[in-house]
Amino acid sequence: MKSASFVLSSEITNLLEAQGITVPTPVQEEIIPAVTNGQDVLAQSETGSGKTLSFAIPIIEKLQRNDGLRALVLVPTRELCTQVAGEFIKYSGRKRLGIVPVYGGVPIGAQASRLHNANIIVATPGRLIDLLNRRAVKLSSVKYFVCDEADRMLDMGFIRDVERIAGQLPPEHQTMLFSATVSKEIEILAGKYLRNPKNVRLASTVKPVFLKQTYCNVTPERKTAMLSDLLNEDRQLAIVFCNKKYVTAKLAKTLTAAGIHARCLNGDMSQPQRERVTNDFRQKKFSVLVATDVAARGIDVDDVSHVYNYEIPKDVESYTHRIGRTARAGKKGEAISLVATEEERKSFRQILYKYRGEITLKDTGGSISRQLPKEPPKGKVIRAKDSVPKPVHDRSGLTWKKKWQELQGYEGKSR
């Protein structure tokens, strides 16, 4: 990696070039020299922008094996923890730095024993708090503190843990705070812990020319069939996002039974199970991953050609992180949202407003998303010319009105 704004050692340059990295990304161009010069950093940069290397490279350059514990990186999820630790290990080369990932779901004793020889700890807040309570680690020698995906930390309720951890750091240390969005809460956090930071605000790296965003209007009963039809179209790897853990497991089984090799990823799975699924997906042992948002922060796979929102996310930020899983590394991708219920339409209106003009209605050829007749107003006399079903009973015993409500996804007392 060569740049006019910074110079790297020949060893790390060779390691980067071996991975095909020869030119720094915009975020790396801004942040690497700032970190090298000892500045605090506040960076708004989304996943996939190269931000991990922007802090990992200068930290690796500054450390030696016999320095003791010098760097702490906090991340919101287990998957991101192993991913970031892996990047540190990959580029530390012959320095053989002690890099220890710390996260829940695995025995704490083994992690505690490895901390004695650590130079860099990459941790989720909860597990690190447990280790601090056990006096298994002290942070008094840390010089470099990174809070990655700070907005997600806030969303997941980790802010108190983050502040408690920050309170155990020595007075003199360098802080780097990364966030996909910089809200008022993030600015307050930055004002509390950063000193004269380098502010880096980068526009989205996913451009409309690479990322196509579409949506489909569908009834709840037809949603799974529509997803199946879409997945059978030409694609590479695909991630299907759900809001609920039990939905991921059920949907993965349904798709597999329909001939689409799918597996699920959610927080109810053990850590070894989650790691195995993630690695198998990365190695293309199956092509469709059905996941909760835990995957949006931890999976970094360049060959994901499609993202499907089977359940619409509750906020715009989650949508942004989901669609960031595709159209990576200069490749094209498509993000498709299936909108079925009134609650989903309400959430999706906020997303449409944020991405004005970038999200279009998907043309499905009319074969799987047909319009249903509207329910007549109460008290209206039904005449033959009205475009509504006749008041007959089908074999299930439902009247036309109840049948219509069922198709629309109503959740009345009878349901």
Please name which of 329, 244, 339, 252 lies closest in space to residue 288, comparing C-alpha atoms. Answer: 252
Query: Does residue 197 belong to any structural domain of this protein?
Result: yes
Query: Does residue 403 belong to any structural domain of this protein?
Result: no
In 153-295, DSSP assigns E strands to 174-179, 198-201, 211-217, 237-241, 262-265, 288-291
Per-residue pLDDT of 167-179, as tens digits, reads 999 999 999 999 8
> Residue 201: beta bridge partners?
44
Query: Does residue 5 belong to any structural domain of this protein?
Result: no
Residue 131 shares a structural domain with residue 232: no
Instruction: Find the DSSP H helices in 208-266.
Output: 223-231, 245-257
189-208: buried (b, 16+ CB within 10 Å) or exposed (e) per residue? Answer: bbeebbeebbebebeebbee
Q: Token pair for residue 207?
A: 């451009």
Q: Which of 168, 201, 234 is at the close of a domain?
A: 201
Query: Does residue 412 belong to any structural domain of this protein?
Result: no
Q: Token pair for residue 403?
A: 């049948």
Query: Does residue 252 belong to any structural domain of this protein?
Result: yes
Q: Which of 201, 235, 261 is at the close of a domain?
A: 201
Query: Does residue 340 belong to any structural domain of this protein?
Result: yes
Residue 33 shares a structural domain with residue 60: yes
Per-residue pLDDT of 38-90, as tens digits, reads 999 999 876 666 789 999 999 999 999 999 999 999 999 888 899 899 999 99
Mean pLDDT computed over 171-189: 90
Mean pLDDT computed over 295-320: 84
Q: How far apart are CA 67 and CA 357, in angstroms?
A: 52
* pLDDT on residue 298: 61
Which range has the worst mean pLDDT, 45-59, 87-101, 216-230, 236-250?
45-59
Q: Which of 178, 201, 224 is at the close of a domain?
A: 201
Query: Does residue 411 belong to any structural domain of this protein?
Result: no
Q: How far apart are CA 232 and CA 209, in angstroms?
A: 24
Residue 46 shares a structural domain with residue 187: yes
Residue 132 shares a structural domain with residue 270: no
The domain total for the chain is 2
Residue 256 shares a structural domain with residue 281: yes
Residue 197 shares a structural domain with residue 226: no
Per-residue pLDDT of 328-343, as tens digits, reads 766 889 999 999 999 9
Amino acid at 269: M
Residue 141 shares a structural domain with residue 220: no
Mean pLDDT computed over 237-242: 96
Helix 51-62 × helix 78-92 angle, to 10°: 50
Please name which of 158, 124, 121, 161 lies closest in space to residue 137, comparing C-alpha atoms. Answer: 121
Per-residue pLDDT of 261-275, as tens digits, reads 999 999 888 878 888
List the CATH number of the domain containing 260. 3.40.50.300
> Domain containing 83: what range?
10-201
Residue 227 shares a structural domain with residue 111: no
Residue 81 shares a structural domain with residue 222: no
Query: Does residue 391 belong to any structural domain of this protein?
Result: no
Percent of the chain with pLDDT over 90: 58
Residue 231 shares a structural domain with residue 147: no
Residue 42 shares a structural domain with residue 182: yes
Residue 161 shares a structural domain with residue 215: no
